[in-house]
Amino acid sequence: MIRLVAYRLLQMPLILLAIYSITFALAWLIPGNPLEREGRAPPPEIVDAMKAQYNLDNPWAFYWDYLGKASGVSWLMGRHDRPFDLGPSLTHENWSVNDILGAGLPVSITLGLAAILLACAIGLGAGVVGALRPGSWRDGLTLMLALIGISLPSFVVGTALLVVFSVWLKALPVGGWGGLRHLILPAITLALPFAAYIARLTRFGMIEQMQSDYVRTARAKGLPEHVVVLKHALKNAFLPVLSYLGPACAAAMTGSFVVERVFAVPGIGQHFVDAVLSKDLTLIMGVVLAYSTMLILFNLIVDVLYAWVDPRIEVG
């Protein structure tokens, strides 16, 4: 187990370097000028000074300078005053990328964590209910709801929830951020697609496990049905769900661009959309690196949890 964690952590810088290089190439090719504000450019001398300061006229210099500051290498070599500096935002005055991530990432993580917990509760429950009576109306209803959850776009679900609970019933706020009431609708909207996938994975896994020999043995021993289902079958049926939860957690906790837009949630997803539209290179790179780091770490956590869920699996 320790060798696995060490090996993955050693791989992490190489993976992030590859992601950084590809993202930089794509971001640099985005048309537009980050120094313009609503189509109005500063005087030419100011533009030239800013290009020279941020290396915006030299992609090779920008690539190495930003990589050194973001990775902490420049700090270790004494060339920079702080480690992991993602640079200043080119479109948000007096804001650095670290400040923007520091303000937006906790919001996105809170929303994503709530959505994943809700998705697990809905998906596992629906999957178990459907798998216990395959072919029944409950199973058919579970599959139909899962298909709807996968097919419906988030902006449709979010808009419908806003109309019903905010406009008609006036029970929940239209948008914004500040308390539990602001979290409910965006968390439900973000959770539904994940819940649909979890329900399908749980259903298929439970149907397979309920037909296995060890389940028949447990029933022959006289164990209560809820013990057989929850303690024995569900534990093994959870393995495919666990594999899915790695990237799902990273995707949810870094925020959904659409959900944050619909509900005006100040997470990093909304900042990323604005950064792409305005070609804010430093903010694009910072958000992608933060997302990639979380994705790698969550996949590592999933691999470690495999051994805990099923000790027969050799993780290393």
pLDDT in tens, the chain (316 residues): 677 778 888 889 999 999 999 999 998 888 877 766 555 556 677 677 777 777 778 889 989 999 999 998 998 988 888 888 998 888 887 889 999 999 888 888 899 999 999 999 999 998 998 888 888 888 888 888 888 888 888 889 999 999 999 989 888 998 888 888 899 999 999 999 999 999 999 999 898 888 888 888 888 888 888 888 888 888 888 888 888 887 788 778 765 778 888 898 888 887 888 888 888 899 999 999 988 888 888 888 877 777 666 666 555 4
User: Is-contact 205 237, C-beta < 8 A?
Assistant: yes
Strand partners, 40: 37
* CA 43 distance to own-chain centroid: 40
| CB-neighbour burial class of residue 265 (10 A; exposed 0-12, middle 13-18, buried 19+) | buried
Instruction: Output the CA torsion sign for 13, 16, 20, 22.
Output: positive
Q: Where are the domains of the chain?
A: 2-76, 105-309
Instruction: Report the half-sphere exposure of 137 (CA within 13 A, side-chain side).
Output: 0
Vertex 147 angle, CA 142 and 148, to 5°: 100
- The identity of residue 104, as a single letter, is G
Whether domain 105-309 has CATH 1.10.3720.10? yes
Tokens linked to 5:
């964690």
C-alpha to C-alpha distance for 283 and 281, rounded to whole angstroms: 6
* pLDDT, position 254: 65
- Per the confidence metrics, is the pTM higher than 0.85? no
* pLDDT, position 242: 84
* pLDDT, position 63: 92
Q: Which of 285, 286, 287 is nearest to 23 (CA)?
A: 285
User: Is-contact 155 262, C-beta < 8 A?
Assistant: yes
Long-range contacts of residues 17-24, Cβ cutoff 8 Å, at least 24 apart? 17/67, 19/288, 19/289, 19/292, 20/67, 20/70, 20/285, 20/288, 20/289, 21/63, 23/284, 23/285, 23/288, 23/289, 24/59, 24/62, 24/63, 24/66, 24/281, 24/285
